[in-house]
Amino acid sequence: MYAVFSAGETCGFQAWVSCPAVSLVLHYLRDWGPTLAELRRVLRPGGRLIASVDHPFVAYTIQEPRPDYFATTSYTFDWTFGGQTVPMKFWRKPLNAMTDVFATAGFRLSTISEPQPDPAARELFPDGFHDLSAKPCFLFFVAEAPPSATGSDD
């Protein structure tokens, strides 16, 4: 079973999910705190959250002049969807701010990784494969909810 909720929405359930995936969502939010707190609230004890975000160095290196790395800053790209151009606003924050907000929401980070493309992608995407292999693009987080004090996952 799965459910979809907006980032600012609450679902009304407690300890309901065991492994939500939040892929390439958080970097659209200035403040990750309320969203991560809601995810933690609905996560079963011992459950885990899998999240991916733009690597903080991506936005840092594309902006001129370069922003203060340790500040939360925004940047905008124009994307075209169905012939319409739409401004997409992203929020870049330093790695320590990312890890801090997970901890503040009650998670324990078990993994932070900088994924590499699958070698099979070299044939499918020869032009982009080198860039994806040689530059940081994304961060993956695995954040765990501590098990309940009784040892039960209910």
Burial class (CB within 10 angstroms; exposed 0-12, middle 13-18, buried 19+) of 9: exposed
| 86-101 pLDDT, tens digit each | 999 999 999 999 999 9
- Domain 21-115+136-144 carries which CATH code? 3.40.50.150
- Rounded CA-CA distance 43/49 in Å is 8
Q: Which pLDDT band, with edges at 50, 70 and 90, does 151 fall under?
A: low
Q: What pLDDT score does 6 carry?
A: 59
**Which one is predicted more confidently, 135 or 152?**
135
Q: Which residue has the higher pLDDT, 3 or 59?
A: 59
Residues 8-58 pLDDT 10s = 555 555 667 888 999 999 999 999 999 999 999 989 999 999 999 999 988
Rounded CA-CA distance 30/72 in Å is: 8
Kindly list the domain boundaries of the chain, sorted by start residue: 21-115+136-144
Q: What pLDDT score was predicted for residue 11?
A: 56
What pLDDT is stored for residue 93 in this prediction?
95
Name residue 142's beta-bridge partners: 50, 111
| pLDDT tens digit sequence for 67-81 | 899 999 999 989 998
